[in-house]
Chain A
Amino acid sequence: MSVPSAPLENESSSGSTGTARVKRGMAEMLKGGVIMDVVTPEQAKIAEDAGAVAVMALERVPADIRKQGGIARMSDPDMVEGIVNSVSIPVMAKARIGHFVEAQVLQSLGVDYVDESEVLTPADEAHHIDKWAFTVPFVCGATDLGEALRRIAEGAAMIRSKGEAGTGNVVEATRHMRQIRSDIRRLATLDETELFVAAKELRAPYDLVAEVAKLGKLPVVLFTAGGIATPADAAMMMQLGAEGVFVGSGIFKSGDPARRAEAIVKATTFYDDPDVIAKVSRGLGEPMVGINISELPADQRYSDRGW
C-alpha cells in the first residue's frame, strides 16, 4: 500500500508523530468495530462497557440538532474533556466543515480523531480543513468516490459514508455505500488512458484515482454512518463493504441504550451470520423513531453539505 507522506511530520529522537501511517493506522485498529455518539461521561461509560471501539463526543446527537435547529458547533471543551477523562478507549469529536480553529482546539484537548462533520453547520462554503497541517487524524464524510478522494487529498485518514444523520433511516447510508463501492469497481475496469478522464469526472487527483484503481479499495479505512439504528442495519452496511460502523442517535435515542449498543457491536462482528444477528436483535425495546428522507426539507439534508 503506498502511503503519501504528510508534509508536516514531527521528527524527534524518539521517532515521528502525526505521519500519514500512524493516522491511517489508527483507523485500521478500529476496523470491525462500532463508534458511538455520546453526550455525557455516563453515556461514554455505557458505550465502553458495551464494547464500542471509540466514542464520538458531542453536545447534541444529530436527532436533537434537527429538532432544536440553530447553528450546531464544536462542543464545549469542558464537555469533551469530561468524556476524554471518563473512558480509556479512543475519543473522537466533531469540528464544523472548514473550521480549522475548532480542529486546533480539539487537537489541544487530546482527542484521538477529529470528525470534520456535515452534521454541524458548515463554517466555510468552499474549503474543507487542510488536514495535513495537524498531528491529530481526521475522518470525513463522503457520498461518492470523488468526494472521498477529495477529502483524502486534503489529508483525511479515514472516510465514512455520510448517510443522513439523525433520521434513524438507513436508506441514504445504503445509497452512499453502494455508490462508493460501485465507483471503485468501475475504476478497476478502466485502462490507463481512461483513468485520466475518470479523474476529471470524479474531480479528484489523478494519483489517488490510479491508486484506487490498482488497490480495488480506498487507500484509507471506509466506515459507514448516518441513520444506522438496528443490529441488522449495521450488518447490512458491513455486507455492503463498510469496514466498521458509526452509530449516532440510534443508540441513546432508543428504549434500552446499553442493550442496543451491545447488540450492534455483536452484529458488526458477525455481520455475515444471520443466526447471530437474529439472536442479538431480540427484545431490544423501542428503536429510535425514524424520519422519512422525503419529508426532510432541502436545507435540512446534511448529506448535501461538503464540497
Chain B
Amino acid sequence: MPQPQIGVLALQGDVREHLYALEAAGARAVPVRRPSEVEAVDAIVLPGGESTTISKLARTFEVLEPLRERIGGGMPAYGSCAGMILLADRIEDGVEGQETIGGLDVTVRRNAFGRQVDSFEADVEVDGVPGDPVHAVFIRAPWVEAVGERVEQLARVKGGPADGRIVAVRQGHLLATSFHPELTGDLRVHALFVELVKGR
C-alpha cells in the first residue's frame, strides 16, 4: 500500500489536528461520518473529544456497527484519549449504557487522571517510537487499568500520583494512547500508525 487512505471519525472532537498529522505523516486523510465512508477507507483514527458524545452519535448515525465489523475484520485503528475509550472492550466510570466500538482487549478508566485542573503534559517513553521521549499532553485523560494477554504495553507514566499507569497500548492492528500526539506537532506516533497500516 503506497499511500493509504486513512479516515478520521468526524462526529465530534479534534478531527482537524488528526487529519493534518496523518497527511504530514504521509497518508491521505479524510473525515468519516457516514457508513459508506467507513467502507471506503483503509484504516481509521478515533480522535480526542467527548467519548459519550461520539459514542451516542456513532450509534445514531449508524457507523457504530460498520466500524465494529471492519475493525473486527482487521482494519487498523488508532484512538487517542476518547478514541482509546472507544476502542476498549471494557470501560470503568462510563455513563450508563455507554457503548464502545471495542476490539482492544483492555479495561480503560475514563477521566482517570482527574478533572481539567489535573490535565498535564509530561515526557513519556513509548516503545516503537525511536529517539527522544514523546512529549505527551493528557487532557481529562483515561488510562488503561487492565490488559488482556495479546496486548503490548507501550508506555507508562513516570512519577507523580499516577506513577506506572499504562498510557499507550498495541494489539496487532490496534493502537491507542491516553494522550494527544496530534496537539504537539510531533508526528512520530502518527508515523508509527501509518507504517502499521502500510504493512498490512
Contacts and interface: CB of A to CB of B under 8 A. Distances in A.
A binds B: yes
Interface in A169-195: none
Interface in A253-307: 265-266, 269-270
A262 to B, nearest CB: 8
Contacts of B71: none
B49 interface: yes
B14 A26 contact: no
Contact of A48 (B95, B140, B159): B95
Interface string B74-94: 000000011000000000011
Contact of B183 (A25, A110, A137, A270): A25
A30 interface: yes
Nearest to B93: A88
Interface in A25-81: 25-26, 28-33, 48-49, 51-54
A12 B161 CA distance: 10
Contacts of B116: 22, 26, 90, 112-113, 136-137
Interface in B37-78: 48-50, 52-53, 56-57, 60-61
B11 A32 contact: yes
A1 B110 CA distance: 28
A14 B120 contact: yes
Interface in B116-175: 116-123, 137-140, 157-163
Given A265-B57, A266-B60, A269-B12, A28 B121 contact: no
Contacts of A53: 12, 49-50, 53
A110 B120 CA distance: 15
Contacts of B158: 14
B81 to A, nearest CB: 7
Contacts of A13: 159-160
Q: Is the interface of A mostly helix, strand, loop or mixed?
A: loop
A269 B160 CA distance: 38
B105 interface: no
A13 B120 CA distance: 11
Interface in B89-123: 93-95, 110-111, 115-123
B15 interface: yes
Given A32-B49, A90-B140, A269-B11, A22 B160 contact: no
A115 B154 CA distance: 38
Interface residues of A, number: 39
A266 B53 CA distance: 10
A25 B137 contact: yes
B33 interface: yes
Residue among A14, A19, A49 with the highest chain B CB neighbour number at 10 A: A14
A101 B82 CA distance: 33
B12 A33 contact: yes
A22 B50 contact: no
A186 to B, nearest CB: 23
Given A22-B139, A48-B95, A112-B140, A14 B183 contact: no
A21 B161 contact: no
A121 interface: no
A266 B160 contact: no
Residue among B10, B116, B123, B157 with the highest chain A CB neighbour number at 10 A: B116
B17 interface: yes
B115 A112 contact: yes
Contact of B33 (A1, A113, A270): A270
B180 interface: yes
A89 B111 CA distance: 9
A136 B117 contact: yes
A82 to B, nearest CB: 16
Contact of B57 (A48, A135, A269): A269
A21 B122 CA distance: 12
A16 B15 contact: no
Given A14-B163, A88-B95, A31 B12 contact: yes
A131 B10 CA distance: 31
A89 B98 CA distance: 12
A26 B140 CA distance: 8
A107 interface: yes
Given A13-B160, A22-B137, A112-B140, 16 more contacts: A14-B158, A14-B162, A15-B122, A21-B121, A21-B137, A25-B119, A28-B48, A29-B82, A29-B140, A33-B50, A51-B53, A88-B111, A89-B52, A90-B116, A113-B116, A136-B117
16 contacts: A13-B160, A14-B120, A14-B158, A15-B160, A16-B120, A17-B119, A21-B121, A22-B121, A29-B14, A29-B48, A31-B16, A32-B15, A89-B53, A266-B57, A269-B11, A270-B33
The 4 closest A-B pairs by CB, nearest first: A14-B160, A15-B122, A13-B159, A112-B116
